[in-house]
Amino acid sequence: MKNIGIVAVGKYVPERIVTNHDLEKVVETSDEWITTRTGIKERRLARRDETTTDMAIEAAKSALDGSPVPAEGIELIIVATASTDSNFPAVACKVQSAIGAKNAAAFDVSAACSGFLCAITTAKQYLTSGMFKTALVIAAEKATNLLDWSDRATCVLFGDGAGACILAPVEEGRGILSEYLHSAGEFHELLYVKTEEPAQLEFNTKIQKPAIVMQGQELFKVAVTSMADAVDLVVEKAGLKLEDVDCVVPHQANDRIISAVAKRAGVSKDKFFINIQKYGNTSAAAVAIALYEAVEEGMIKPGSVVVMVTFGSGLVTAANLIKW
């Protein structure tokens, strides 16, 4: 069985920073509420003319910068996004064209906040089977496009950005050692994007802008149990112990969720990489950006045992364990 690992990482975040104080001018909220309830201090906001694809391309270029595999050597591109700029073509095809990855197959996956890990798991299966040798996996979100800026319960939580990684065969004992992927479709109404069904529209009706609807408290509980149990599961599946884990890169939805996951999973919170204070919840891109920064800041080094874990709409939970 081939070992597949991550050989390069990349990220892109838009320049514009929106602080909690900026949001105090938009909705009835406070820096104090947002900070204590979520851990978020600021988030990035894409330019009006900056698309999910633009951010995906920048993250891809960033990953290619440090990659042993050049663009022409990429055989598969998967983009995870819940905020695509048009129904088709896939963002991945536009990335392919922009980076000159002429020899690749390209498509998108939709799994909201768990999209990046779903895409990594999907790519890994293609690489393990031998159908493709290398893959570029990107998560890109213009989540702020899906916000109702008058809904303080959701508009303070999300931000824009993108992350990427390149998968390729690695030496034995290294790479992705275990994975977990599960959906609890029965809870799909806890977090969704509300759009009007076109079939129900009267002629000439103005179509409502899509907006995120969330039942935060219910989600919180499922997020904690699902992610904590997924961490334990991938560690056990890899034949390792919790003490062997050097770094956990979790979905960045709420700092209080991360604390509760650490406690329930039995892994010290010091081992969790957290950047929610800077970016808020960037959906699929959150764990991708965090992975890049954990490597950049030296929390992940060659030989580190890394667990990535995500949770989101669907409800989809995903995790993997990587020997870096």
Q: Write out the residues near ligand UT7 by the rule CB under 6 A.
A: 29, 33-34, 37-38, 113, 152-153, 156, 191, 216-217, 219-220, 223, 253-254, 257, 281, 311-312
Quick one: 166 or 223, whose CB is closer to ligand UT7?
Answer: 223
Quick one: 132 or 311, whose CB is closer to ligand UT7?
Answer: 311
Quick one: 47 or 221, whose CB is closer to ligand UT7?
Answer: 221
Q: Is 22 exposed, middle or buried (0-12, 13-18, 19+ CB in 10 A)?
A: middle
What's the sign of the alpha-carbon dihedral 215, 216, 218, 220? positive
Check: CB of residue 276 under 8 Å from CB of residue 252. Answer: yes
Quick one: 178 or 259, whose CB is closer to ligand UT7?
Answer: 259
Give dist(CA 182, CA 319) in Å, integer. 9
How many residues would you count in the chain?
Answer: 324
Take residue 109 and report the two structure tokens written for it.
């996956």
Q: Is 239 exposed, middle or buried (0-12, 13-18, 19+ CB in 10 A)?
A: exposed
Minimum distance between the CB of residue 81 and ligand UT7, rounded to whole angstroms? 14
Quick one: 107 or 192, whose CB is closer to ligand UT7?
Answer: 192
Residue showing the smallest CB distance to ligand UT7 in the complex: 216
Give dist(CA 308, CA 324) in Å, integer. 12
Minimum distance between the CB of residue 238 and ligand UT7, rounded to whole angstroms? 25
What's the sign of the alpha-carbon dihedral 50, 51, 57, 59? positive
What's the sign of the alpha-carbon dihedral 136, 133, 308, 194? positive
Give dist(CA 44, CA 96) in Å, integer. 25
Minimum distance between the CB of residue 26 and ligand UT7, rounded to whole angstroms? 10
Minimum distance between the CB of residue 110 and ligand UT7, rounded to whole angstroms? 14
Residues with a known catalytic role: 113, 251, 281
Quick one: 12 or 158, whose CB is closer to ligand UT7?
Answer: 158
Minimum distance between the CB of residue 289 and ligand UT7, rounded to whole angstroms? 14
Buried/exposed 137-176: b ≥16 CB within 10 Å, e otherwise: bbbbbbbbbbbbeeebebbbbbbbbbbbbbbbbbeeebbb
Minimum distance between the CB of residue 162 and ligand UT7, rounded to whole angstroms? 16
